[in-house]
Amino acid sequence: MAKIAFITGVSGQDGSYLSELLLSEGYEVHGLLRHASSLQNLAHLLTDDRLKLHRGDIQDESALRRLVAEIRPTEIYHLAGQTNVARSFELPIETVHDVAIATLRLLEIVRHTAPAARLFHASSAEIFGNPAEQPQTETTPMRPINPYGCAKAFATQMTSVYRDSLALFACNGILYNHESPRRGENFVTRKIARAAARIARGLERELKLGNIEARRDWGAADDYARAMWMTLQQQAPGDYIIATGETHSVREFVDAAFAIVGLKADEYLKIDETLLRPSDPAQMVGDAAKIAREVGWKPAKKFGDVVQEMVAAELKLAGATP
Ligand code: GDP
């Protein structure tokens, strides 16, 4: 059977790593991206004519329905959406439309137009809010503490409903923070890696951050794209935590990044209170035992590898700056 994938949010960090993987596995890959999205993350794949890009809006129901009917995907990876937590406090309604309602709309389209397709929904650790237990598992209660987490909790639960009550092959991957040189610039790891490189090159003098005590479970985006794909190759659908099981503070990320460029972080780090969020989970760490057991996925890269890769990429970019 032909392997045809449809990825929403194809031009983002995860969409680009997933496209690479699926092309290497022999798929025809269709990707949806907004009219305004940059092709930077996909530039190295554009000569491959098995990658087919479709500009459009995840909110445009009739266009999306037509697209799914035309493509006839065997696998759908739903990655699109406003993914920035801080921004979700400023734009809660847009976030809910973009993350929650858009997922429900896609589930409806798949149910009626491509019911045999397998669907992966990129859920988030933010559904757990200030978690009831450490580490979190697939059965940890959802109790989100920001608009993004609320929208993701709705989308996650709906994906389960379409699987358990309406027989779709639908999976939630509950993704913990995952980083790479392609991470959006408003995420803290990219901001830190960039500042370390630019300060080392004499292009900047300080790094301003908000809550540096927050602890996150940081993995590598390419590892997590592999987990998404492996999840859909199983006999039966399910929900899976996708995490490393290790936790590090923002401060540890800063120290590790500055150490790579031979600088002491304390000399450049400033706390900017305006970057503090109305609420911020103190610690998130996932227990990925279920996906290891049932799917056979384990992360290949460690925290130190991720920091190293990101700082190296930023040093290259900073070096090219006049
Ligand atoms: P998130 O966990 O999905 O919200 O990913 P982020 O990379 O945006 O944030 C990770 C953690 O870094 C959160 O606890 C933030 O509060 C904290 N943080 C501290 N300073 C900053 C900053 O300047 N920008 C961002 N994005 N996060 C920051």
Q: How far is the CA of 188 from the centre of ligand 1 (A)?
A: 5
The pLDDT tens digits along the chain (322 residues) read 789 999 999 999 999 999 999 999 999 999 999 999 999 999 999 999 999 999 999 999 999 999 999 999 999 999 999 889 999 999 999 999 999 999 999 999 999 999 999 999 999 999 999 999 999 999 999 999 999 999 999 999 999 999 999 999 999 999 999 999 999 999 999 999 999 999 999 999 999 999 999 999 999 999 999 999 999 999 999 999 999 999 999 999 999 999 999 999 999 999 999 999 998 999 999 999 999 999 999 999 999 999 999 999 999 999 865 4
124 lines ligand 1 (CB under 6 A): no
277 lines ligand 1 (CB under 6 A): yes
Consecutive H or E run containing 241: strand 239-242
Q: Whose CA is nearest to atom 14 of ligand 1?
A: 214
Residues ≥6 apart with Cβ < 8 Å to 43: none
The one catalytic residue in 11, 19, 37, 124 is: 124
Query: Which residue is associated with the tokens 């988030």?
Result: 124
280 lines ligand 1 (CB under 6 A): yes
Task: Give the torsion through C-alpha atoms of 79, 83, 88, 94, to 10 deg.
Answer: -40
Active site residue 133: no
Q: Whose CA is nearest to atom 27 of ligand 1?
A: 188
Q: Which two tokens stand for residue 23?
A: 């092309």
Q: Residue 32 carries which DSSP code? A: E
Q: How far is the CA of 256 from the centre of ligand 1 (A)?
A: 16
Q: How far is the CA of 55 from the centre of ligand 1 (A)?
A: 30
Q: For residue 1, what pLDDT is reported? A: 75
Which of 124, 188, 283 has most ligand 1 atoms within 8 Å of CB, for mutation? Answer: 188
Q: CB–CB of 59/32 below 8 Å?
A: no
Active site residue 249: no
Q: Most distant CA pair in the chain: distance in Å?
A: 58
Active site residue 160: no
Q: For residue 12, what pLDDT is reported? A: 97
Angle between helices 102-113 and 61-71 (to 10 degrees): 40
4 lines ligand 1 (CB under 6 A): no
Of 36, 218, 14, 183, nearest in space to 193 by CA? 183
Q: For residue 267, what pLDDT is reported? A: 97
Q: Whose CA is nearest to atom 2 of ligand 1?
A: 177
Q: For residue 320, what pLDDT is reported? A: 62
Q: For residue 322, what pLDDT is reported? A: 43
Residues ≥6 apart with Cβ < 8 Å to 74: 1, 2, 3, 4, 5, 116, 117, 118
